[in-house]
Amino acid sequence: MAELLLVEAVNDALHIEMERDGTVMVIGEDVGRLGGVFRATAGLHERFGADRCVDTPLAEAGILGAAVGLCMAGWRPVCEMQYDAFSYPALDQLINHVGRYRWRTRGKMSFPLVIRMPYGGGVRAPELHDDSPETYYVHTPGVKVAIPSNPADAKGLLAAAIRDPDPVVIFEPKLHYRTGKAEVPQGEHVVPLGEARVAREGTDVTLVAYGAMVPLAERAADALDAEASIEIVDLRTLKPLDEDALLASAAKTGRVVVIQEAPRTCGFAAEVAAVLAEKAIYDLQGPVLRVTGYDVPYPYWQIEDAYMPSVERVVDAVRRLLAA
């Protein structure tokens, strides 16, 4: 075990997977000599050379489109999008090609590419450095989506993504890139895609969360310590969703609050709620509550805390649910 920051765990995974498999390459804006604006790719350029850790032109659709071609030539490209909101120019390639190309070849060709990017708010940044775009990705057929909440999972999910034969998108909670070191298994470490994690066991209410919302859920659970026994399900992978884990927890507690920082409408919390409304309706002892970002443009950072789900809002939701 090593004690690593989340961003260091990402970096560790990249080093190990590139060492392990000579066809893994990293491409993106400023990933090379600079090592990425968050230093997630630091050291790769020196260690693996300019051909395997490539600074690209400033063109996100070009990055993802080229990655499709790189797959066809036998590479496993790991594409960094510099920030959440700057990945949108690549959505066209994502939807019309990345998610469809394996299908187009009737499964004869694989597109083992990874898109990874820092996401999320709360970092006091200028406009458009705060988005949580997972819905755009998770709604797109043919791609998998994972969002780690801690250093060990950041390493393990990225390793799984790189080894996966299909396109995987990883959103890394930039708010927690450097908030604290945690234990991370040394050497190869893979967290299988599609397996949620019960971050905390409880019996009264389930908090469903992922990414930066997991530490928040933990703080909310602490705050509620005297009132209720809180279970926290860290989804880890949004697609494919670990329905079993979700339904098991809902069956156990009968009360669910889903937390997401993206805007509410059609956010992933809606999907979770819909699954529960369809498959757990007889287990539910109250409404499925959503604590989410609002359906508004992500605000000026001086008031971003009012936009972001907060401990207070989660606690309030839990209390309402317990009183219902």
Partner 1 sequence: MSKVLPAEGGLRRVIGDGHELPDGEVDLTPEQHLDLYRDLVLLRTYDERSVVYHRQGRIGTYAIFWNHEAMQAGSAFALEERDWIFPSYRESAIGLLRGLPASTVLSWWRGHPAGWWNPEKWGVASICVPIATHVPHAVGFAWGSRLKGDDRVAIAYFGDGATSEGAFHEGATFAGVFNAPAILFCNNNQWAISTPVSAQTAAATLADKAIGYGMPGVRVDGGDVLAVYEATREAVARARGGDGPTFIEAVTYRAAPHATADDPSIYIDEERVEEERENECVGRYERYLKRFDLLTDAQVEEIRAEGLELMRAGIAEAEAEPPADPGLVFEHAFADPPASFRDDLAELRRILGG
Ligand X SMILES: Cc1ncc(C[n+]2csc(CCOP(=O)(O)OP(=O)(O)O)c2C)c(N)n1
Q: Name residues contacting partner 1, limited to 17-36 (CB under 8 A).
A: 25, 29-30, 32-35
Residue 110 binds which one of ligand X, partner 1, a copy of itself, none, with CB within 5 to 8 A depending on kind? partner 1
CB of 82 or CB of 140, closer to ligand X: 82
Task: Please give the residues from 243 up to 302 whose contact with partner 1 meets the rule CB under 8 A.
Answer: 243, 294-297, 299-302
Report, in Å, the least distance between residue 268 CB and ligand X: 24
CB of 35 or CB of 267, closer to ligand X: 35
Q: How far apart are CA 61 and CA 25, in angstroms?
A: 18
User: Among 81-89, 198-206, 240-248, 279-287, which window interacts with ligand X (CB under 6 A)?
Assistant: 81-89
Give the H or E element holding residue 271: helix 268-279
Burial of 10 (0-12, 13-18, 19+ CB in 10 A): buried
Q: How far apart are CA 307 and CA 6, in angstroms?
A: 24
Q: What angle do CA 69, 98, 49 make, to 5 degrees?
A: 45
Give the H or E element holding residue 124: none
Q: Is 189 a catalytic residue?
A: no
Residue written as token pair 């287990």: 283
Residue 79's alpha-carbon distances to 6, 42, 140, in angstroms, are 18, 14, 18
Candidates 8, 12, 17, 29: give the one binding ligand X (CB under 6 A). 29
Beta bridge partners of 115: 79, 169
Q: Which of 129, 139, 176, 189 is catalytic?
A: 129
Report, in Å, the least distance between residue 85 CB and ligand X: 8
Candidates 11, 41, 56, 82: give the one binding ligand X (CB under 6 A). 82
Task: Give the N- to C-terminal CA distance of the chain in Å, as an integer.
Answer: 44
Under rule CB under 8 A, residue 304 binds partner 1: yes
CB of 219 or CB of 301, closer to a copy of itself: 301
Candidates 32, 99, 112, 173: give the one binding a copy of itself (CB under 8 A). 99
